[in-house]
Amino acid sequence: MLELKNLTKYYGKRLILDNINLTVNDGEIVSIVGPSGGGKTTLLRCISGLESISSGEILIDASPFDPYRNTTNESVIGVVFQEFQLFPHLSVLDNITLAPKMVLKHGKAKAEEDAQKLLDRLSLGNKGHLYPYQLSGGQKQRVAIARALAMNPKILCYDEPTSALDPALRQEVEDLILSLKRDGMTQIVVTHDVPFAENIADKMLKVKPLED
Amino acid sequence: MTYILEILPSLLDGAKLTLEIFFWTIIGSIPLGLLVGLGLISKIKPIKYFLNFYVWLMRGTPLLLQLIFVFYGLPTLQQFHIHIVFGRYDAALFAFILNYGAYFAEIFRGGLQSIPKGQYESAKVLRLSYWQTIRTIVIPQVFKIVLPSIGNEIINLVKDSSLVYVIGLGDLLRAGNVATSRDVTLVPLLMVGAIYLLLTAIFTLILKKIEKHYSYYK
Ligand SMILES: Nc1ncnc2c1ncn2[C@@H]1O[C@H](COP(=O)(O)OP(=O)(O)OP(=O)(O)O)[C@@H](O)[C@H]1O
Ligand SMILES: [Mg+2]
């Protein structure tokens, strides 16, 4: 369970997030919606440890947790970036196995076996040897998801998972997120697409731009 | 023809020294350039200022001056009881590595800055440490980006190595010049030119091969 208590974020003197409170239960999907500039990405970056918070608290399973400074391999918060940010010089398989090998110290054989299972699960079974530039947008996104899942994250976060995709693929992402939920994955989805959010989310958090 | 065969050994001796200086400079200055390049983009201000000064100094003064300074200049400090005396060969390597290190540093700085911030961020959320990220994500991508510019400098270095002439090292150019003034003929200098052309052609070819190796991704 992830809890945000009075989470506040300033960029310089500018208040972006004002006392956000949110509880994300295990296995739930929470979506964060709101207009552009509302601070959705900023909130996701705070949760995933890419930005420090200005005040407030983040708790995981009721104990305080600082994702910004955490360097352990527990409580990993996985992130699927809007632009995916795959490593262009590594094959799909190497993209996925890099962190398990280097960080979790898994052997090559185990890392590759696990990665192959993830690829199969995400219908990318035969794509392991390709490089990111050889993939479609939807395939890149699924590789990004596989790469995040390979670290056994406690929570998986997405920033605008539908924005870089063909509208026809929207349904596919929706199905995928829901099927990960059935496996018990806790997910946070940032989107400005309210109907999409309504279809997947157990809970919605609305953020809006703050007046200065 | 017999004349060519006669002077060839001395020219090849010179070429050997030229190549030695070339290789040691590459081996010293590329890692130096990479480290300085990392320092140039670091957030630690004093390191950055110091390295910027170093790069400015090395690129803002002639390599020939640096060579003369190291070999003839530094020993004059002995009158102040500062003993920095290099042999000819060491002086040449010292000056070349420092000078080329600065040029490579600028090239690496540009390459490092062209790696999108998102690459560092996705490495960070995957829990890779700073050095793991640099080693496995950043450097391989930077190498591909900087390869053409590094290649230019490498070709320059083949030719610049002839500057060691001025501190009395017996490189290829000196070997040719000695033969020319002794035998009063143009042939040795033409041969020197041909050997330089051959060397630059070989290195150009090798660099093209390496670039091709890196074209497996876009
Ligand atoms: N690094 C930063 N420094 C300063 N201000 C920032 C920074 N990143 C974002 N902001 C500001 O914070 C506000 C919220 O930005 P954020 O990207 O979180 O919005 P968003 O809800 O994700 O918008 P969008 O739907 O367009 O992606 C914006 O006004 C933005 O200008
Ligand atoms: Mg955003």
Low-confidence ranges of chain A (pLDDT < 50): none
Q: Which residue has the tokens 């009158």?
A: B79
Q: What pLDDT is recorded for position A48?
A: 93
CA A159 to centroid of ligand 2, rounded, Å: 7
Q: Give me the CATH code for the B2-216 domain, please.
A: 1.10.3720.10
Mean pLDDT (whole number) for B134-155: 93
In chain B, what are the domain boundaries?
Answer: 2-216
Q: Say whether residue A31 is in contact with chain B using an 8 A CB cutoff.
A: no
Cα–Cα distance, B30 to B128 (Å, whole number): 25
Cα–Cα distance, B203 to B173 (Å, whole number): 19
Q: Which atom of ligand 1 is nearest to the CA of A38?
A: 21
CA A42 to centroid of ligand 2, rounded, Å: 7
Domains of chain A in sequence order: 1-76+154-212 (3.40.50.300), 87-152 (no CATH)
Scanning every residue of chain B, which has its alpha carbon at the shortest distance from the alpha carbon of A133?
Answer: B218
Mean pLDDT (whole number) for B40-61: 93
Contacts of A81 in chain B (CB under 8 A): 118, 121-122
Give the CA distances from residue B85 to residues B89, B94, B144, in Å, rounded to whole numbers and listed in that order.
Answer: 12, 12, 39
Q: Return the bridge partners of A24, or none.
A: A2
A3-7, A70-74, B137-141, B191-195: segment of lowest average pLDDT: A70-74
pTM of the model: 0.87
Interchain CB distance below 8 Å, A88 and B141: yes
pLDDT exceeds cutoff 70 at B151: yes
